[in-house]
Amino acid sequence: MKKFNDYKYERPDLEQVKKDLEEQIVLLSSGKDLATEIKAIHKVFEINDKTESLNTLVSIRNSLNTTDEFYEKEQAFFDENNPVLQEYQHKFSEKLLSSTHRLELEREFGSLIFIRAELAQKTFKPEIIPDMQKENKLSTEYGKLIASAKIEFQGGVYNLSQMAPFIQDKNREIRHQAQLAVSKFFADNEAQLDRIYDDMVKVRDGIAKKLGYKNFTQLGYDRFGRTDYSPADVKNYRDQIYEDIVPLVSELTNRKAKRLGIKNPKSYDLALSFLSGNPTPKGDRNWQVERAKKMYDEMSPETSEFFNFMLDRELLELDSKPGKQSGGYCTYIPEYRSPFIFANFNGTSHDVDVLTHEAGHAFQVYQSRDLLPEYRWPTMEAAEIHSMSMEFLAWPWIDQFFIEDTPKYKFNHLASSVSFLPYGVLVDEFQHHIYEKPELTPDERKSLWRTLEKKYMPFKDYDDDTFLEKGTFWFRQGHIFEVPFYYIDYTLAQVCAFQYWIKHQENRKEALDSYLALCRLGGSKSFLGLLESAKLMNPFEKGTVKKIVKPIRSYLDSIDDSKL
């Protein structure tokens, strides 16, 4: 059995890859019989899987150590050449759509692959390749800059992930100074961050206009393969969050301030939930992984098989290290049929959230890895349902991680998940304004952020942190730089995951069976199609958020949080 470190990387021969793709693409729509076309399509999938596996290995190993010169060069190679390979995907989609056997191919592969191919046709032309290369390089530059953080604090030197425990410290002045120390890193790099983002906005706006879009907004949606909702639907959804969730989050913030004995809570107070300290896992990484194994072994035969596969092949990289990229993610290496989980453990409850959230992503793709490559993953707003729902499905075992902190964790997990929604839609509305007005200056963007922050998070007072007060908190939100318009997916998925929390309270087995069925569907249906299959309410329909928040509010109100 090969472990992750044995997964072999060698730079692909791009000329050979292009030649192989060209040979298969020619077989489509050239008067060949149906069987030949089906075989050619599978061959294209096979070639893509091989190249994507190498690309993914580079991406993982580069993120594990951003100072490794070999993988830095290989990442630059893919940044440069992925847009070139996309030209072949464009040609493939073109031939697929014009095939004389299209009806038979739709029966063979499903209609969604054709709907997405039609969308993909709109998002690419060969003339935008240099712009896409620039966009990739800017994204890599941002990631490297964030990973370079070396913050001196209380006699130590920390990266951004490692500063999180100080932001949650029970001592208010430590929290205060930790926030200022993190802000200093961003302030020291303000000009560079402004320049990177300004270049990103301009290059994306230019790409959109070359493709015939009015601006980048709809292109951003189309890039994510959103086939059944629009910016207007998202605005309606944001309005629901503003009306039904912002008042509840303001109440929860007041409850927290009361628990903490603070009359006028500041921004550096918001990450702490209890005077007795936030809930923390009661053991180190190995201890937590052992408990995660026990949990997944007991949850279901499917989760047990999956998690043991991950452990046996060493597909979890969890420690925070110097030079390691910040944040966490799950990805998939097709050639090895392997999900991979990347995280930065820091001793907070976030560590357990990784073992549930990212494992939810990994479990879903493990369940659907036998589907067509196009259907292994759903679009991202659906993909996040699997991860966020797994966090709630883990509740019966959560005491194994938090021991005496379990009541605090459950209350905080639910309250924090609700409290995230206004921030999530704030990020989304900010980006809509940005790409509708790409000419905004860096200072105007910051002013816009602070205005929206006051709308969705009216309780956020930055005290003496003048850097954050001018509207720069978004500098640390990598999605804004690297994957524009993605962030709303987390909030849509959270509203769906809350429905699994509600189902799980009522009937644990039925909730898990529904979840397993949803995972097995992968991305074979659109977002709304998946919701319909799982009998989940549509977040875009007015009244959905109000209905879902009712049992959540009842649960939170039933807890005497002053005793936690």
- The model's pLDDT over 535-549, given as tens digits with 9 standing for 90+, comes to 999 999 999 999 999
Give the pLDDT of residue 397.
Answer: 98
Q: What is the largest CA-CA distance in the chain?
A: 76
Which pLDDT score is estimated for 141? 96
Mean pLDDT in residue range 154-180: 95
Secondary structure letter of residue 57 according to DSSP: H
Decide if pLDDT at 414 tops 80: yes
* Predicted confidence band of residue 380 (pLDDT cuts 50, 70, 90): confident
- Domain membership flag for residue 208: no
Q: 3: how many CB neighbours lie within 10 A of its CB?
A: 10
Please check whether residue 211 is in contact with residue 128, taking contact to mean a CB–CB distance below 8 angstroms: yes
* pLDDT at position 342: 97
Let me know if residue 216 belongs to a domain.
Answer: no
Average pLDDT over residues 283-298: 97
Q: What digits encode the pLDDT tens for the residues 447-456?
A: 999 999 999 9
Write out the H or E segment, with its range, that includes residue 563. Answer: none
- On whether the CB atoms of residues 132 and 78 are closer than 8 A, the answer is no
The kind and range of the H/E element at 168 are none
Q: In this structure, is residue 71 part of a structural domain?
A: yes
* pLDDT value at residue 106: 95
Q: Look at phi and psi of residue 471 and say left if phi exceeds 0, alpha if psi is from -120 to 50, else beta.
A: left
Mean pLDDT along residues 121-137:
94
Q: 452 in a domain, yes or no?
A: no
Q: What is the pTM of this model?
A: 0.90
2 alpha carbon, distance to own chain's centre: 28
> Looking at residue 137, what is its pLDDT?
95
Instruction: Tell whether the model's pLDDT for residue 120 goes beyond 90.
Output: no
Residue 389 tokens, joined: 């729902």
The number of distinct structural domains making up the chain is 1
Is residue 408 a part of any domain in this protein? no
What is the rounded distance in angstroms from the CA atom of residue 492 to the CA atom of residue 395? 21
DSSP three-state, residue 397: helix
CB atoms within 10 A of CB 263: 7
Q: How confident is the model at residue 327 (pLDDT cuts 50, 70, 90)?
A: confident
Cβ-proximal residues to 276 (8 Å cutoff; 6+ apart), any chain: 170, 408, 564
Q: What is the pLDDT of residues 78-107, one digit of tens each?
A: 999 998 999 999 999 999 999 999 999 999
Indicate the pLDDT class of residue 490, thresholds 50, 70 and 90.
Answer: very high
Using CA atoms, how far apart are residues 56 and 132, in angstroms rounded to an integer? 18
Q: By the 8 A CB rule, do 31 and 98 touch?
A: no
Domain that holds residue 113: 4-136
In a domain, 102, yes or no: yes
**Any residues with CB less than 8 A from the CB of 362 and at least 6 apart, and which?**
306, 310, 315, 330, 339, 340, 341
In this predicted structure, what is the pLDDT of residue 367? 98
Q: Give pLDDT, residue 66.
A: 92
CA dist., res. 320 & res. 562, Å (int): 33
What whole-number distance in Å separates Cα of residue 154 and Cα of residue 134?
39
Question: Phi, psi at residue 333, to the nearest 5°?
Answer: -110, 100
Is residue 38 a contact partner of residue 105, using CB atoms and an 8 Å limit?
Answer: yes
Give the position of tokens 């489509």: 28
pLDDT-based confidence at residue 326 (cuts at 50, 70, 90): confident
For residue 82, tell me if it sits in a domain. yes
Note the pLDDT tens digit of each residue in 267-282: 999 999 998 888 999 9
pLDDT of 517 reads: 97
In the structure encoding, which two tokens stand for residue 46, read together? 């096979």
In a domain? residue 39:
yes
Average pLDDT, the chain: 96
